[in-house]
């Protein structure tokens, strides 16, 4: 018996199928934000419980987003085995220089300080072919740890039969190489040793395929997810030509395998101005753009003009406008309303909630957004 079409609101929204409303979801918050909200009513013990977790369920509980509707995931086993030893190499009163389990050495703020920020990256484990060969041993394709368990397959089969989605996700190809090599170093390596870059990207694709090829033919895969973060406010960190040379074939290989299981949706989490890369992603089947950062220059209306209904959109509510108060919030939600009417769009803040958004402004935004999407509970 064929599996039913999933009833998840998100899936149906992105497939332009009837649904009562789009899902009410948000994208987490910076840890500093909930600490700043305590004087205005955010529970102090919940802020302490959240700690440095940007996606803690307590945050979702407080703001009242939809609970997970149901579904299952196919685990993509991409872990390093063995991992590097976690070591503190130096420290002072506020910071530590740490080698983490990925082999990256960075200066980091000690946990819980208000000045929390991205680390200062100092050294990456892959520098050349010799260090890549050593790293590759930690990512063996035949590692028994890459087996997809019978339990995971059974849960996916049961979820699909009950009318829920089955998904899978992975770090993208630029993202994986950047984690191994570093942003600046990868930019040079693309020109200095393109053969090595191809080998690393292809190996990452094979790692993902090792998991996907274990999925039985009767188990559907409704949606793939990717993390990239390979753009800033002036565009992507590589040119479209470079992306198509090194990374598009890898996306294509994985998405072709996913389509063997009926996959028709795939989202990419990429901050910044993504316009120059969207055509490449869509050609491979990656068709949901997220989180559509407004201040970075991503224009959802332009994407719809260029790609029509082929491009699905998630996020796109300007966090800068939400910080400005009620009138600006109303204008911002009015701005995105036409996209909601077109379908294929799930609105939420275009990144983590920053601390310059006050709790009263954020909760006002939440109430107005619920009105916009027709959420009555």
Nearest alpha-carbon partner for 314 in 62, 5, 63, 22 = 22
* CA distance linking residue 318 with residue 88, whole number of Å: 38
Return the bridge partners of 44, or none.
none
**Two structure tokens written together for 295:** 């201040």
The HSE-up count of residue 89 (CA atoms within 13 Å, CB side) is 13
Question: What global pTM score does this model have?
Answer: 0.95
* CA distance linking residue 329 with residue 321, whole number of Å: 6
Q: In what order do the strands lie in the sheet with 87-91?
A: 87-91, 95-99, 105-109, 120-123
pLDDT per residue of the chain (377 residues) written in tens, 0 to 9: 588 999 999 999 999 999 999 999 999 999 899 999 999 999 999 999 998 899 999 999 999 999 988 899 999 999 999 999 999 999 998 899 999 999 999 998 876 555 556 789 999 999 999 999 999 999 999 999 999 999 999 999 999 999 999 999 999 999 999 999 999 999 999 999 999 999 999 999 999 999 999 999 999 999 999 999 999 999 999 999 999 999 999 999 999 999 999 999 999 999 999 999 999 999 999 999 999 999 999 999 999 999 999 999 999 999 999 999 999 999 999 999 999 999 999 999 999 999 999 999 999 999 999 999 999 97
């Amino acid at each position: 018996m064929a599996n039913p079409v999933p009833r998840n609101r998100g899936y149906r929204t992105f497939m332009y199928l009837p649904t009562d409303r789009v899902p009410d979801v948000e994208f987490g918050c910076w840890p500093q934000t909930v600490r700043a909200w305590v004087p205005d009513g955010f529970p102090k013990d919940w802020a302490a419980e959240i700690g440095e977790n940007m996606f803690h369920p307590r945050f979702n509980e407080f703001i009242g987003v939809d609970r997970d509707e149901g579904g299952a995931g196919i685990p993509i086993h991409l872990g390093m085995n063995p991992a590097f030893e976690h070591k503190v190499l130096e420290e002072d009163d506020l910071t530590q220089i740490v080698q983490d389990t990925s082999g990256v050495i960075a200066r980091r703020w000690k946990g819980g300080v208000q000045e929390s920020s991205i680390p200062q990256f100092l050294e990456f484990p892959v520098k050349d072919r010799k260090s890549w060969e050593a790293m590759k041993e930690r990512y063996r394709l035949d590692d028994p740890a890459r087996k997809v368990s019978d339990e995971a397959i059974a849960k996916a089969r049961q979820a699909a039969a009950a009318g829920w989605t089955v998904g899978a996700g992975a770090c993208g190809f630029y993202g994986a190489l950047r984690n191994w090599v570093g942003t600046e170093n990868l930019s040079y390596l693309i020109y200095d040793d393109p053969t090595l870059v191809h080998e690393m990207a292809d190996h990452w694709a094979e790692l993902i395929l090792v998991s996907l090829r274990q999925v039985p033919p009767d188990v559907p895969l409704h949606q793939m997810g990717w993390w990239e973060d390979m753009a800033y406010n002036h565009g992507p960190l590589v040119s479209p030509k470079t992306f198509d040379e090194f990374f598009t074939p890898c996306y294509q290989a994985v998405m072709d395998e996913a389509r063997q299981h009926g996959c028709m949706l795939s989202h990419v989490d990429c901050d910044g101005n993504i316009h120059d890369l969207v055509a490449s992603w869509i050609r491979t089947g990656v068709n949901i753009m997220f989180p559509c950062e407004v201040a970075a220059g991503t224009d959802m209306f332009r994407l719809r003009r260029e790609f029509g209904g082929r491009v699905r959109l998630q996020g796109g509510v300007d966090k800068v406008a939400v910080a400005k108060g009620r009138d600006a919030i109303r204008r911002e939600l009015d701005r995105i309303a036409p996209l909601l009417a077109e379908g294929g769009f799930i609105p939420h803040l275009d990144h983590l909630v920053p601390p310059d958004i006050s709790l009263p402004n954020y909760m006002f935004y939440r109430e107005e957004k619920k009105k916009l999407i027709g959420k009555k509970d």
